[in-house]
Amino acid sequence: LTPTDTTVQQAGIGGPAGTWSERDSLKGLGPNGQQALAARLDVDALARRANILVRSLNEAYDSLSRQRERLAATPSIMPTKGWLTSAFARERYHPILHLARPHEGIDVSAPMGAEIEAPAAGVVTDVKWEEGYGNMITMDHGFGLVTRFAHCSKILVVRGQRVKRGQKIALVGSTGLSTGPHLHYEVWVNGKPVDPMKYVMPDAIVD
């Protein structure tokens, strides 16, 4: 948020002289009238400054609200507790297909039935079985951020459901092409896969 310039905060006014006004009548009352005019001008200036301050505070509040929404939508926690067994890679030797293929996410080994949590606030946009992925969930977090969770043994959310960061959405499994229980986790930004570890923060963020 750009700070309000100090000259703007002065809330100066001006313009051509008009016709007879209340101020002219106050001037005609001598010293008392001039004091009253000075007080009136001070009050007007304070009112203008107050209006500028209110607008600035409203802009700051709107900016902070947008930042808070963006923070809540950022997938900043690991969806499950376990061990990273396969990292994000442009090319990886597939353990089952025995072919070099992109690995558009990370694999986290965890016990069968371990809880999978939403890494950020968002909306469940898809719940389905997909060849290779098995039982999977897709979530839209806004701001171009999408996450996917694959190989689940059980899905605990439905399409269209809104979830918060840390909410339980599924259980770890080994459905689809899988050598054992683990979570395959993807983060997409503006339609392109990125390394989820770039978003994971060391400490959980409280919404």
| pLDDT tens by residue, 162-197 | 999 999 999 999 999 898 999 999 999 999 999 999
CA atoms of 110 and 201, how far apart (whole Å):
20
Task: Compute φ and ψ for 94, nearest 5 degrees.
Answer: -70, 130
- Looking at residue 122, its pLDDT comes to 97
- Its pTM stands at 0.67
Output the CA angle 152-155-160, nearest 5 degrees.
Answer: 130
Which of the four pLDDT bands, split at 50, 70 and 90, describes residue 3? low
The least confident of 19-28, 38-47, 129-138, 147-156 is 19-28
Best CATH choice for the domain 83-198 from the list 3.20.20.150, 1.25.40.10, 2.70.70.10, 1.10.132.10: 2.70.70.10
- Looking at residue 17, its pLDDT comes to 47
Buried b (16+ CB within 10 A) or exposed e, 177-198: bbeebbbbbbbbeeeebbebee
The domain segmentation of the chain, as residue ranges, is 6-73, 83-198
- Looking at residue 20, its pLDDT comes to 47
- Looking at residue 95, its pLDDT comes to 62
- Looking at residue 18, its pLDDT comes to 46
Report which of 123, 182, 119, 112 is spatially closest to residue 157, judged by C-alpha positions. 123
- Looking at residue 205, its pLDDT comes to 40
| pLDDT > 70: percent of the chain | 70
Q: pLDDT of 117-154, one tens digit each?
A: 999 999 999 999 998 999 999 999 999 999 999 999 99
Which of the four pLDDT bands, split at 50, 70 and 90, describes residue 44? confident
